[in-house]
Amino acid sequence: MVKIAIVEDDAKERSRIRECLDGIQESDGIVFDIAEYESGQSFIDNYSPGFDIVFMDIEMPGIDGMETSRKLREIDSSVILIFVTNMAQFAISGYEVEALDFILKPINRYSFAIKVKRAIARIPKKNKEYILVKNGGETRTVLISSIHYVDIDGHYVVYHFGGGESLQEYATLKEAKSRLNGKEFVFVNRSCLVNLYHVTGVDRQSAYVGDVRLDISRPQKKAFMAAMMAFSEGVR
């Protein structure tokens, strides 16, 4: 079951999204658990982590979709966020809150289905696995799927999350990869592991996690691109 939130002030638009999701359920046998919210404020006020995908309208009265998304990222860094808008230029700001994609209004069923299936492929299957990170004098419990990438700083491993947050502990990158124990964590270079669930773009020399650019080294490029291709095709 895929748990979905629709945050949209227009009842007709919410209904349209539901119709498109119903179509995917019928054609692909994917079961959705859908909750609807008429405003960003009601969504945030009643939010508890557990959603897999959030469809967020950008233009809403009160707090708009961007502000709602910023508040969302403060409490949930791993939920998949998709903007719904009638103005494509607003979607560019999605990098700020690590939105996976955007859907233009009026919604096209075919395009919608492609983007939803792409989002479903990125839902972490191990979203309830944790590791313990010894950060200074305290030990923190960290949700593995919330880790965006891991790099090193001297003798310390640094775990990076959404919103620029990070934790570090005395360890090697090899030890960190062994603890993370998942194919979704791949070396982009000898000093950095990236979580493929959070990669938002790739070019010849770099992988992007939101607005963070990570260099892909020549020795790692072939293996990284193969892993990225397998991941995009739904191979775990």
pLDDT at 214: 96
CB-based burial label for 78 (10 Å; 0-12, 13-18, 19+)? buried
Q: What is the mean pLDDT of the chain?
A: 88
Question: With 50 as the cut, is the pLDDT of residue 179 above it?
Answer: yes
Q: What is the pLDDT of residues 73-105, one digit of tens each?
A: 888 888 999 999 887 666 566 667 888 888 999
**28-32, 87-91, 96-100, 228-232: which has the minimum mean pLDDT?**
87-91
For residues 209-219, give the mean pLDDT.
92
- C-alpha–C-alpha distance, residues 196 and 37, integer Å: 30
Question: With 50 as the cut, is the pLDDT of residue 236 above it?
Answer: no
Confidence class of residue 220 from pLDDT cuts 50, 70 and 90?
very high
Q: What is the pLDDT of residues 127-144, one digit of tens each?
A: 557 788 888 888 887 888
Distances (CA, A) of 46 to 2, 7, 35, 40: 19, 12, 11, 10
Q: The pTM is what?
A: 0.56
pLDDT at 99: 87
Per CATH, 2-121 and 130-232 having the same topology is answered no
Superfamily covering domain 2-121: Response regulator (3.40.50.2300)
As its CATH architecture, domain 130-232 has: Beta Barrel (2.40)
Q: Are 61 and 31 in contact (CB under 8 A)?
A: no
pLDDT at 142: 83
Domain boundaries along the sequence of the chain: 2-121, 130-232
Residues 6+ apart with CB under 8 A from 59: 65, 85, 86, 87, 90
Q: Are 148 and 209 in contact (CB under 8 A)?
A: yes
Nearest one of 64, 77, 120, 71 to 232, comparing CA atoms: 120
pLDDT at 22: 94
pLDDT at 49: 74
